[in-house]
Structure 1
Amino acid sequence: MSRPTTRSERRTGRCQCGDIAYAVAGDPHDPHLCSCEHCTRISGSPAVAWVGFRVEDLTWTGPAGEPTWFATWPTLRRGFCPRCGTHLVSVADGSEMIMVTIFSLTESTGLDPVGHSFRDAAVPWMAVTLAPDPLGQ
């Protein structure tokens, strides 16, 4: 279930080298961590921090255009920069939402994770303190 926050503005993001850049508008949805085997392997870290935006609200703005896409599941593609390797986005086939890595955003204020997908798969030494649920549930 998506949990919209109250911030509705244009945000920008990019890869490490700047070849792949994007802008998103609209309300961010469901900021969360994920520790599934795909996120941990592709990132080399114990979790990836994601936030969702409507697919039609994301525009690729960098000199290289769109990222290179890699399927990590039959219906899930992840976009990364072919030059520097930065993992930027994930989108499921037919989804209205595209997930953006929170730390690829230029400004990530107010996007504290409120959930942790695949928490049981997280490394045992990882302790996570989640933000308060914005809906109070």
Structure 2
Amino acid sequence: MTELNAPSELRAGRCRCGDITYEVTGVPDDPHLCSCEHCTHLCGGPAMAWVGFHREALTWTGPGGEPTWYATWPTLHRGFCPRCGTPLVSITDDSPMIMVTAFSLDDQTGLEPLGHSFREKAAPWMTITLAHEPQPR
């Protein structure tokens, strides 16, 4: 995974109705788009934007508690708001990272996508200009 050259900071996020809210700390990792069948069906668009954080860096803070979990693959679970349906997170059973939907964050500064998973499955009319890879320190 590519670690961004950004300071560790607190970021807040939420679902559309505000029932599920969270805070995440740390340096964002691997901001990317995904056009797999699961992501496109869940977001209703040509790609979902994701960014990773360490699992223990995310805290659920809202009145709704944790999201409702849905298994989209045997080892992959997606969390969404049961009230408004907003997709919020994705986690693989054996990963130390949790992927957050970039647009559930209140501030997306510095989270330009560096990659595009399943680009070959993207809508043929979709063109993407990805951010430049971060330079080694």
- Retained in 1: the 8 A contact 2:3–2:27? no
User: What are the within-5 Å matches in structure 2 for residues 1-137 of structure 1?
Assistant: 1-135=1-135
Paired AA for residue 26 in structure 1: G
Cα distance in 2 for partners of 1:123, 1:3 equals 28
Spell out, residue by residue over 1:8-41, the C-alpha distance to the aligned partner (whole angstroms, 9 max, x if none): 1000000000000000001000000000000001
- Retained in 2: the 8 A contact 1:29–1:52? yes
- Retained in 1: the 8 A contact 2:89–2:101? yes
The offset of 1:135, in angstroms, is 2.8
- Retained in 2: the 8 A contact 1:5–1:29? no
Cα distance in 2 for partners of 1:2, 1:79 equals 24
TM-score with structure 2 setting the length: 0.96
Spell out, residue by residue over 1:50-105, the C-alpha distance to the aligned partner (whole angstroms, 9 max, x if none): 00000000000010100000000000000000000000000000210000000000
Aligned residues: 136
Cα distance in 2 for partners of 1:5, 1:33 equals 19
Provide the aligned C-alpha RMSD in A.
1.0
Paired AA for residue 14 in structure 2: R
Cα distance in 2 for partners of 1:5, 1:21 equals 26
Paired AA for residue 116 in structure 1: H
Gaps of 5+ in 2: none
Paired AA for residue 40 in structure 2: T
| Identical pairs, percent | 67
The offset of 1:117, in angstroms, is 0.4
Gaps of 5+ in 1: none
Cα distance in 2 for partners of 1:94, 1:46 equals 27
SS class of match (1:10): strand
SS class of match (2:103): helix
Cα distance in 1 for partners of 2:54, 2:125 equals 34
